[in-house]
Amino acid sequence: MQVILQILINGFIISSIYALGAVGFSLIFGTAGILNLAHGAFLVLSAMVAWFFISFFKLPLVAGIALGVLTSVIFSYLLFFLVVHPLDQSKKIPREEKEVFILTATLLWSMIIQGLLDYTFGSTPIVIAPFTPGVVHIFNISVTYNEVILAVVSLAIIGLLYLLINRTKTGKMLLAASMSHTGLALMGVELKKVYILLWGIYGLLAGVSGVLLASFLGASSSSVPDLTGLAFSIVVLGGLGSITGSFFASYIIGYLGTITAYLISPSYTTLPAFFVLILILFIKPRGLFGRF
C-alpha cells in the first residue's frame, strides 16, 4: 500500500512539472505550426545556468533561478530570430518544404546547446537546491516541502497561462493565430509581433519547467534527447496543438514513468513514453483530444 501511495504522490509531482513544459511545446505547435526539437535543450539549459549561478556565485536561490529562466527566454528568441523566422521568410525554400527545414534546424539548435552545455558544465548530473527544507507526512508517506512547492508552482503557472489565453485580449490574439494566420492579418495584427510574444512565453514556460525538474530529479546535458522525446510523446498523445490534451497526457506519461521507476528500474522511466508514442501513432494519430 505504501508503494502505491508513493507512486501516486511522486507521479503527481513529476507529471505537474512535465505538464508545464509540455503546454509550452504544444503552444508553439498550435500557434506557429512548429515542432521544436530543441525543447529538451531549453529545459536543461535553464537548469544548469541556474545551478551555476547558485553554486559558484552564491546567488540566492530565486535570483539564480531567474537567471536560468532568463537564459531560456534569450535562447528562445535567438532560435526565432536567427533560425525560424529567416527560414520561414526565405524565398529560396519552397513553401511546402519549409516545415521540414525548420524542424531540422530546431534539432540542430538542440545539438548546439547540448554541445555547449557538455563543454561548459560537463555531463555530470546537477541538482538545484530545494526551495525550503522540511518534510510533511501524507498518509504516512514522507513528502518534502520542496516537492509540494514544485507541484503547486507548476499548476499555478499553468492556471495563469489558462487565464492569459482565455480571459485577456493578448491571449485571444494567440488563439486567433492558432486558428487562422490569414484571419489575424485581416484584423490588422502583425503576425511577427504575435510570434515574438509566443516565443517569449515558450521560453518562460520551458525555463521554469527545467529548473523545477532539476530541483526534483536533477539534470545533465545527456538528458536532452530523453526530455525532448518525453515532451513529444506527451503532445502527440494529447493531440498536437491541444494545450488541454497536453496537460492530461502529461499525467498519463508521468505516472507510467513513475510506475516503471518503482516496479522495474529508474533507468527505464522514459521507455513507456516511447511505446505510447508508437502505439498512439498507429491507433489514434490525432491524439486523445484530436487536434492536429
Q: Average pLDDT in the 232-259 region? A: 93
183 pLDDT more than 70: no
List the single range of 31-35, 73-77, 171-175, 226-230 with lowest mean pLDDT: 171-175
| Confidence bin at 33 (pLDDT 50/70/90) | confident
H or E segment to which residue 46 belongs:
helix 39-56
74 pLDDT more than 70: yes
Q: What's the chain's average pLDDT?
A: 92
| Confidence bin at 290 (pLDDT 50/70/90) | low
Contact 254, 11 (CB under 8 A): yes
- Report which DSSP code applies to 134: -
291 pLDDT more than 60: no
pTM, two decimals, is 0.94
73 pLDDT more than 90: yes
- Cα–chain center distance at 203: 9
* Phi and psi based region of residue 128 (left: phi greater than 0; alpha: psi -120 to 50; beta: remaining): beta
Q: Could you tell me the domains of the chain?
A: 2-283 (1.10.3470)
292 pLDDT more than 80: no
Cα 14-15-19 angle, rounded to 5 deg: 120
pLDDT at 178: 77
Torsion, Cα of 252, 113, 198, 196 (10° steps): 180
245 pLDDT more than 90: yes
pLDDT at 215: 96
| Confidence bin at 2 (pLDDT 50/70/90) | confident
pLDDT at 90: 92
Which distant-in-sequence residues (6+ apart) come within 8 Å of 20 by Cβ? Answer: 154, 157, 158, 205, 208, 209, 212
| Confidence bin at 175 (pLDDT 50/70/90) | confident
| Confidence bin at 138 (pLDDT 50/70/90) | confident
CA distances from 152 to 70, 146, 184 (A): 21, 10, 35
